[in-house]
Structure 1
């Protein structure tokens, strides 16, 4: 089967998925370099509108992971430049015509591949990363482009099973056209790691990712302050790492030397090292779909404390690969942190379970890719 994979924003999960897919099919990968913080590709280094992967410096680290001669990087432009965007879309479609894929996997609803969407919509499988838009992020343009693509593309695949039924009922889709798979570990981060050893003697709690209201960061901070007040001599620290604006005042939390704020975009090299130096990663979200944060943590076999929202309980097995708690519950979050802090043997067992499930077992990329291929066969 010949597959064209059209991506607009990320290398993270895609390179791992494509690596798994190409073992059983012929995969051509298109990725847009628009914002470097979205996919770690510097578009200013690109001289052509579409550049083969073999000529892109930022991709060379992945040369043993994906087929660079079947990879194409698009020098992107913002949606506001509609005419230029559509011209680029036309150019991309010329490549698609030559490739003549059996199936096209689309991971976005941007204008970048809109011409191809119009031409090949009947053989497309659309990855729906967010079955429902996050609270505080319901932007009009996003809704419009999303709805257009939802109408054009019949077959869609979600990355968790929990939200499938609600997604079908909300949009009135036919169940046979809605498929599911899952995210596995973000292998790409290990290609960026420079600090190979975890040399820290402290118990490091880590939150990382884009700062947004639905992330529930205040609940984590309050839980951590509560722990500090009752365990004054603990060797526990907390790092909040990510770009964006807080929806609450963080000044009072800066008074605690145990709390570090890295309020900036965290590039892969730094992120890989932060995760490697952590003891546990926390996702205190108030709503969610699936989470690349969990899969980034699991790439380094770090257990995750996550809330019972969206697809997170599918990704984090309670008591096995982390702890699941109810959202907006500061006490439950504090108790979960203390549980793994006091029981390091449990923490080690969780790390071992991540190894067995996500690197070798039923949650590996090989199994995820099989579900994608099953969905693709129903389109042909």
Structure 2
């Protein structure tokens, strides 16, 4: 079977795990969508953005260090290219899409697996007629609070209703049920692929031994992340453990602004890094964290969770979305009722008392398999054999 796996750099920390599975069971051709404004996301840091090329081999757009870290995942694929939307304006986008269509046609694949349901992915629709089967991975069936985008909703609506779409993949039972209840597409199969710790970050961390000195919130800053709940919980935490330090690391989206009242009250106890966080810095921040806090108001699955687990760092999270599927309470983390600062403070204090969080960290370390993502291989094989 010849398969094109189409993704985007914002999904690559997860996509490389899927690529690492698929390259052993199909002739795999990888296409990664990238734009100027998104050239540094997750594990990708594009250093050589072309001005006159549209479909570019991965090694031509990354510096040698970044490519060397990706190479083990891409070795064994039939091809791996970026589609680089660098040309200005709508006309430029269509020129790039035309080059992409030519590239796809030359591969002549049987199957398309589309992981990136983004606005520009609609530009490949003319290419879809050449595939016998199309499969979609759905990360977020519904938009998060404060992140509605009619263009992405339009892309989803179009792709969900394409006749050649044979089924849908999800990373949690929660996302699957949410999709089925909202869209009511009951005539097509749905498969859940279990997430595991993200190996890229584990390899990047190596055997670093860093002093645990802080509590950490990381990821994009957005209304649904419950940052206000976290900040309002910290007064009780600081009162009980006055040497505690909280780090909030990530870039605001959709003009979200963190409330300043608590920040102004504790300027020496809370650090906000409202910017892009490089991979090396993220690994260091997680390494320094006693545990990660995810006080989300709502969620689907979480790359933050799997990045933390990759570095043996427990997570205190709201009992929303798929957190309840992946966190075993008091084993690899703790769960707390959402939108409740008092309960969040109590759980945080409980993890800090007598360094209880260290027990959870040890549990994560003891139960990590060498390459657990491969346990999903049969799911993909069976899915692709669907008529």
Aligned-partner Cα distance in 2 for 1:125–1:59: 28
- 8 Å CA contact 1:185, 1:359 repeated in 2: no
1:260 to 271, 276, 279: 271
Distance 1:163 1:14, change over 3 A: closer
Q: How many angstroms does 1:198 deviate by?
A: 0.9
Distance 1:198 1:175 in 2: 51
Q: What's 1:377 paired with? A: 385
C-alpha deviation, 1:170, in angstroms: 1.4
Alpha-carbon distance in 2 for matches of 1:331, 1:227: 10
Kept in 1: contact 2:175–2:301 (CA 8 A): no
What secondary structure does 1:19 align onto? helix
Of the three residues 37, 40, 50, the one matched with 2:40 is 37
Report the equivalent of 1:302. 313
Aligned twin of 2:145: 135
1:144 alignment partner, SS class: helix
Structure 1 window deviating more from structure 2 (279-288 vs 41-50): it is 41-50
- Once the two structures are superposed, what CA deviation does each residue of 1:61-83 show, in whole Å capped at 9, x if it has no partner? 221232276211121248x9334
Q: What residue is the counterpart of 2:182 in the other structure? A: 170
Could you say what the CA RMSD is over the residues aligned between the two structures, in angstroms? Answer: 2.5
Q: 1:273 aligns with which of 284, 302, 307?
A: 284
The residue aligned with 2:215 is 205
How many Å apart are 1:322 and its aligned residue?
A: 0.5
Q: Name the structure 2 match of 1:61.
A: 69
Secondary structure of the 1:371 match is helix
Once residues 209 and 161 of structure 1 are traced to their aligned partners in structure 2, the CA distance between those partners, rounded to angstroms, is 22
C-alpha displacement at 1:44, in angstroms?
4.3
Shift in alpha-carbon separation, 1:296–1:72, aligned structure 2, 3 A: same
In structure 2, do the counterparts of structure 1 residues 217 and 156 end up closer, same or farther at CA, with 3 Å as the change threshold? same
Deviation of residue 43 (structure 1)?
A: 6.2
Q: What secondary structure, in the 3-state scheme, does the structure 1 residue paired with 2:9 have?
A: coil
**Normalized against structure 2, the TM-score is what?**
0.87
Q: Write the deviation string for residues 206-250 of structure 1: whole angstroms up to 9, x where unpaired.
A: 000111000001111111222112444xx3211000111444522
Bigger shift: residues 128-137 or 50-59: 50-59
- Asked if 1:24 is matched to 2:45, the reply is no
Partner of 1:9: 9
Q: 2: distance between equivalents of 1:2 and 1:355? A: 37
Unaligned runs of 5+ in 2: none
**CA separation of 1:69/1:97 partners in 2, compared to 1, >3 Å: closer, same or farther?**
same
Distance 2:169 2:7 in 1: 15
Aligned residues: 371
